[in-house]
Structure formats: C-alpha cells, structure tokens
Amino acid sequence: MSTVPILDLSAFDDLKKQPEFLAHLKHTARHIGFFYLTGHGISAQRFEEIQRVSKAFFAQDQAEKDRILIDHSPHFRGYTRLNTEITRNHPDFREQIDLGPELPVNTEQYPLWKRLQGPNQWPAVPQFRSIVEAWQKDLRVIAIKLLHAFLLALDLPKNALDRFVTGTPNESLKIIHYPNNQQHTQGVGAHKDTDILTLLLQDRVGGLQVKHQNEWIDVPFVENAFVVNIGEILELATNGYLVANVHQVVSPKKQTDRYSIAYFLAPTLDAGEVPILKLAPHLQALAQGPQSDPLNPLLKNVGENGMKSRLRSHLAVTQRFYPEYAQGQIK
C-alpha cells in the first residue's frame, strides 16, 4: 500500500453501484483499515465554516481558552493545553477542545462511566456552538450509514449493531491544533481509536500516518474528503476480522500549524458488552481475535472502556474528580 484508497459513499445509495462499493469497502476494511470518504453530502462551505471557527477558538488569548479547561469537567469536556493529554504514556504536542452530545448531568454515580454524560463547556466564539452542533448531527448520520455498509459488506444484517448507536447518543468530537515545532515529534502518539468509526477532517499541512505492515504510510490531504478509520469496537465485534489500524500524527516542522477535526462514533454508554458477530464460515476462518494493546487493553463493556480511556488520557481530570481510581483502572 503506497496510497490510501478513496471510496465514494454516494455509490452505497445507488442500487446498481452498491455491490461494487461493498466489495471495495470489504477489501479496504480488511487489508488496510483506513480510507478517504467522498460523496458524503457535506459541502465545501460547511468544511470552511467549521475550520474557520476552529481556528478562531485557538487564536484566542490563553486565558480565554483556559476559562473552559477540561480540568473543570468531570465529563471530560473542554480545552486541553499543549503537552497535557497522554498517549502511550507520553504527552502529545497539541491543544484541543473535546465536545460531546449536549446532555444533562447523569446523577447516578455508579457504574462510574455514567458520569461521562453531561454538558459541554462552550467557548465565546461567534457561531461556534451552532456550527459544531450541526456538524455533530450530520456526521452522526454519515457514520451510522457507513456502519450499516460495513455490516452489509460482511454479509450481516445492517442493524446488527444498532443498539450501540441508538438511544442516548455518545459521539465525541475533538477539534485539534498542532503547532509547528522542531523539538517535539509526537503530535499524537501511535494508537488505535477505541470507538466504532472515526471521520477526520484534516487540512493541507500533513502529518497523519497509518501503520501498514510495519511501515508508516503518509495520509495526505484530499479535497472535500474525510479520512475514515475503524475503531476497536468493530475489531472486537468481528473477532479481529476487521482491524483497527494504528496511526499517529507527526508534529509539523514547517512554519505552518496543522488543524484537524475528528468525529468519533462512540457506542451508547449503557449498551453493555460488545457481542461477537456470527460471520460466515469463510470469513470467520480469517478472524484471529482482536489485537488488544497491552499498554491500553480493550474492555468488552463499552461504558467501562470509554471511561478507562479518558482516565488514562486526562490525568488532571482524573486527579481532581476520580482520585480513588488508578490510572485507567475501573474498579
């Protein structure tokens, strides 16, 4: 693989083109795990809008960004400073704002993951909230359609995982700024995404890399396309037939900063344990089980897994609101 393939989602809605699209998706998902997605229906104007408000947020004075620090939120929502999110035990040289569905605080204290539900901390940037909420709503529709396509490509009922994406939504959004830097290589360290699917909007600067057969492959900018990758939930549900690929971001070295916006289709928190789907025998024979990272083991219960990932990544929030819990350990 020298380049990442491009799939056109509009072909999924065309009954004549759908079989070829599903065959391409099946091959790409099994052998690569990353692809560009076009034909999604999001206009170039919408891309420009969310990039505009994202840059406006990061251009604010540090004190204004600190007003909505993630440290203030037991729900892990808000702004993260440079070098304060951790990936594989090393700090990431990026700043970001984490957002989720705008929901009231869940007053139940246990299980612990119920406390992930709550409100966002919104910045005082004109149009930021309205643009972001519209983005979340539309990308949720795209991601669920794509999930259905994945399942059909594997000869499974398209609604086989619907209980994980219906009910109270639990998607998350990271709006990220990677400053150019000569000293810090790790924009974000090598990792797998823990959720179902990721749709990433990146800019022209570059730096995203995917690991394929022990080599790092660059994933450059493609006009009006999302970069899609499989999360660990799909890897677990297919018993490893689909693989959540390892990826990283290298800090930009030129005199240009990098901006990206990552949407994660996350499973509904109270969906319980991820089932192992019954694949056709010829597919099941190739499923060797999920490849869990020993430094960040995958938990079958989606609520526990979601909380574990946040406890490990945002140590200041953990120390303030969950001091009784060891780093990433759910008791």
CATH number at residue 155: 2.60.120.330
Q: How far apart are CA 283 and CA 278, in angstroms?
A: 10
pLDDT grade for 331, boundaries at 50, 70 and 90: very low
- Residue 80, strand partner residues: 96
Is 327 inside any structural domain? no
Give the CB-side neighbour count of residue 29, counting CA atoms within 13 A.
28
pLDDT, tens only, 95-104 = 999 999 999 9
List the domain range (segments joined by +) for residue 167: 6-321
Is 234 inside any structural domain? yes
Q: How far apart are CA 39 and CA 209, in angstroms?
A: 23
Instruction: Write the single-letter amino acid at 312.
Output: R
Q: How far apart are CA 57 and CA 259, in angstroms?
A: 11
pLDDT, tens only, 15-64 = 999 999 999 999 998 888 889 999 999 999 999 999 999 999 999 999 99
**Contact residues for 301 (Cβ-Cβ < 8 A; gap 6+):** 272, 273
pLDDT grade for 180, boundaries at 50, 70 and 90: confident
Is 179 inside any structural domain? yes
Entry pTM: 0.92
Q: How far apart are CA 325 and CA 310, in angstroms?
A: 12
Whether 164 contacts 233, CB under 8 Å: yes
Is 122 inside any structural domain? yes
Is 12 inside any structural domain? yes
Q: How many domains does the chain have?
A: 1
**By C-alpha distance, which of 131, 128, 150 is closest to 139?**
131
Is 326 inside any structural domain? no
Give the model's pLDDT for residue 155.
95
Which of 308 and 121 is assigned the larger pLDDT?
A: 121
Is 296 inside any structural domain? yes
Is 328 inside any structural domain? no
Residue that has been written with the tokens 């949720």 in this structure? 140
Least confident of 54-68, 113-127, 268-282: 268-282
- With b for 16 or more beta-carbon neighbours within 10 A and e for fewer, the 106-126 pattern comes to beeeeebbbbbbbebbbbebe
Structure-token pair, residue 234: 């799909």
Q: How far apart are CA 52 and CA 45, in angstroms?
A: 10
Whether the pLDDT of residue 1 is over 70: the answer is no
Give the model's pLDDT for residue 2.
58
Q: How far is C-alpha 229 from the chain's CA centre?
A: 8
Q: How far apart are CA 122 and CA 309, in angstroms?
A: 23
